[in-house]
Amino acid sequence: MVQITSRPIKEFVVYRYIKFRSAGELARRAVIEGSPMQPAHLKWINGIVYRTIYPAASLMSETLAKEFLDGKIWVEVEFADMPQFKGTVNSAEENVLLPIVDNSIDRDEYTLIEWLKKQPPPS
């Protein structure tokens, strides 16, 4: 019989956050840094369009792997204001239309975005 285990996220450790002047600038960054393994897209929650970036597997130490299994997630967040949800955003320089997912139902990331909105502008 197959066993199923659920290990919810207990903590996000935001090691860096970057606020872009516009959703278009964020879209451009996502397109430029995209890869075949991670197609470029953005997510939206409560007035913020964003993307989360997790440490590369090659950087995953034994300590980070243990923390991950214990529910501690290290993350970088890139974001911009977008008061109203839109299904796409244009990266004009690359002439690419990027999809945006309304991620409002994700309780964990909703909490992350609400925390982010309360932070001072990154320096």
Task: Report the pLDDT value the prediction gives residue 123, as an integer from 0 to 100.
Answer: 66
Alpha helices in the chain (DSSP H): 23-33, 62-69, 107-117
Task: Find out whether 94 and 31 touch, Cβ atoms under 8 Å.
Answer: yes
pTM of the model: 0.87
pLDDT in tens, 47-106: 999 999 987 655 667 777 788 888 898 999 999 999 999 999 998 888 889 999 999 999
Cα–chain center distance at 31: 14
Task: Report the pLDDT value the prediction gives residue 59, as an integer from 0 to 100.
Answer: 61
> Is residue 59 packed enough to be buried (19+ CB in 10 Å), middle (13-18) or exposed (0-12)?
exposed
